[in-house]
């Protein structure tokens, strides 16, 4: 039995693959002369964040105010919250919890600007603000180029606020249907944001930071002259979605779910103990019917077809050897969503358990 001391389901993190992924990205950022500010919502682990900083990350990105709190409490001193925060209670709380740390926030609406300015006006030091720009994802952010000027100017003239730069995330790269399309999206991510920064500077506004980033686009966006910072997150683990996108190979993927065969009710069906409460129900890029809801690490053609909360149902050939009690490592479709459901990462070196890291920022939704 593999990892006999571990109760399943649990998350395994292959140390050598993690280290390789971390080093590759750190080296890439160094080569492109851009700051690496990884997104920590992927792993939610101060231990892993510390390792990224040892390898050269300038600080981190978080998605939510409550995630920021976890990393601030863990002693990190340079964070960006890359989702707009507009709740006045959360704003007031962050202005206190930041202490002496550097905590930049995202603004993409006039109301968001006004709320941050009202709260920050009486603080003893300004709040650093990044203006969010939408380069095609169609989520949040102002339009790129000169259209970004009015809000940028309003931020820079607001009491309590200091405009630090512009930020975008080309999440539409995940829908690219070819490597060429992905490259085009990555290049445009950098170029549209650099153009926007140029407009701001031409209007006399300061714009030192030009921040792009997603794992699928970072190879291209980071090379656009004028980009100063990249924020990939998923690269630490990689997952089924990145493999299907052509960004990673199965051998790059560092995170798996260790599961146990609960039942073999029919020769052509295996049932594992990793349901949607363990894996998440993320259906990947092309939907569950095409890519499955998770795949066996050592036999990626075997895919989970259905999930209930506690069960994963996997069609298998009758000749497949799986028996009740066997252990299987499952590659999740979306590592970030899977990690959010767990309390610990078990770091392994082959079949040896090395250590455990708590996932301290799991479930931080506010
Ligand atoms: C604003 C923002 N920046 C960076 C990232 C990191 O992207 P990825 O996980 O593809 O590396 C995300 C991911 O959702 C994001 O929303």
Ligand 1 in reach of 115 Cβ (< 6 A): no
CA distance 245 to 226: 27
- What six digits make up the tokens of 230? 């990249």
Predicted confidence (pLDDT) per residue in 53-108, tens digit: 999 999 999 999 999 999 999 999 999 999 999 999 999 999 999 999 999 999 99
Given a contact cutoff of 8 angstroms between Cβ atoms, the answer to whether 159 and 117 are in contact is yes
Question: Which stretches of the chain drop beneath a pLDDT of 70?
Answer: 1, 286, 288
What is the DSSP secondary-structure string of 296-334? ESS-TT-B--EE-SS-EEEE--TT----TT-EEEEE-S-
User: What CATH topology corresponds to 15-235?
Assistant: TIM Barrel (3.20.20)
Residue 345 burial by Cβ neighbours in a 10 Å radius (0-12, 13-18, 19+): buried
Q: What pLDDT does 292 receive?
A: 92
- Whose CA is closest to atom 7 on ligand 1? 214
Q: Which ligand 1 atom is the nearest neighbour of the CA of 213?
A: 4
Q: What are the boundaries of each domain within the chain?
A: 15-235, 246-358
Ligand 1 in reach of 236 Cβ (< 6 A): no
Instruction: Give me the residues paired with residue 107 across strands.
Output: 131
Q: Please state which architecture CATH assigns to domain 246-358.
A: Beta Barrel (2.40)
In total, the chain counts a number of residues equal to 366
Q: What pLDDT does 5 receive?
A: 87
- By most ligand atoms within 8 Å of CB, the mutation choice from 106, 134, 171 for ligand 1 is 171
- What six digits make up the tokens of 10? 């649990």
Ligand 1 in reach of 234 Cβ (< 6 A): yes
Given a contact cutoff of 8 angstroms between Cβ atoms, the answer to whether 277 and 310 are in contact is yes
Ligand 1 in reach of 39 Cβ (< 6 A): yes
CA distance 98 to 91: 11
Given a contact cutoff of 8 angstroms between Cβ atoms, the answer to whether 46 and 64 are in contact is no
Q: What pLDDT does 290 receive?
A: 79
Given a contact cutoff of 8 angstroms between Cβ atoms, the answer to whether 161 and 113 are in contact is yes
What is the DSSP secondary-structure string of 42-111? TT--HHHHHHHHHTT---EEESSHHHHHHHHHTT--EEEE-S----HHHHHHHHHHTTTSEEEEEE-SHH
CA distance 358 to 199: 44
């Amino acid at each position: 039995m593999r990892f006999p001391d571990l109760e399943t389901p649990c998350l395994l993190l292959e140390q050598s693959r993690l280290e390789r992924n971390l080093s590759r990205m750190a080296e890439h950022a160094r080569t492109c002369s851009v700051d690496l500010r990884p997104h920590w919502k992927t792993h939610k682990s101060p231990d892993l964040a510390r390792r990224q900083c040892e390898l050269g990350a300038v600080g981190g990105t978080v998605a939510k105010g409550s995630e920021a709190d976890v990393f601030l409490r863990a002693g990190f001193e340079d964070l960006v919250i890359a989702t707009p925060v507009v709740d006045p209670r959360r704003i007031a709380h962050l202005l206190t919890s930041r202490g002496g740390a550097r905590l930049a926030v995202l603004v993409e609406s006039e109301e968001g600007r006004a709320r941050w300015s009202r709260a920050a006006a009486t603080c003893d030091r300004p709040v650093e603000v990044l203006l969010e720009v939408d380069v095609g994802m169609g989520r949040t952010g102002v339009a790129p180029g000169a259209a970004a000027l009015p809000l940028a100017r309003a931020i820079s003239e607001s009491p309590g606020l200091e405009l630090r730069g512009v930020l975008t995330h080309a999440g539409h790269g995940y829908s690219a249907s070819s490597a060429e399309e992905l490259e085009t999206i990555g290049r445009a991510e950098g170029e549209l944001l650099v153009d926007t920064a140029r407009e701001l500077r031409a209007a006399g506004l300061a714009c030192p930071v030009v921040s792009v980033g997603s794992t699928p686009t970072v190879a291209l966006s980071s090379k656009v002259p004028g980009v100063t910072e990249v924020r990939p997150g998923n690269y630490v683990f990689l997952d089924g979605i990145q493999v299907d996108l052509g960004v990673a190979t199965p051998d790059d993927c560092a995170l798996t779910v260790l599961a146990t065969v609960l039942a073999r009710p029919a020769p052509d069906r295996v049932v594992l103990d990793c349901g949607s409460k363990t894996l998440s129900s993320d259906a990947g890029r092309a939907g569950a019917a095409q890519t499955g809801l998770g795949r066996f690490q050592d036999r990626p053609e075997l895919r989970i077809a259905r999930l209930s909360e506690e069960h994963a149902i996997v069609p298998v050939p009758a000749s497949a050897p799986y028996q009740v009690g066997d252990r299987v490592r499952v590659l999740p479709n979306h590592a970030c969503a899977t990690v959010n459901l767990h309390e610990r990462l078990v770091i392994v070196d082959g079949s040896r358990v090395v250590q455990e890291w708590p996932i301290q920022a799991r479930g931080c939704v506010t």
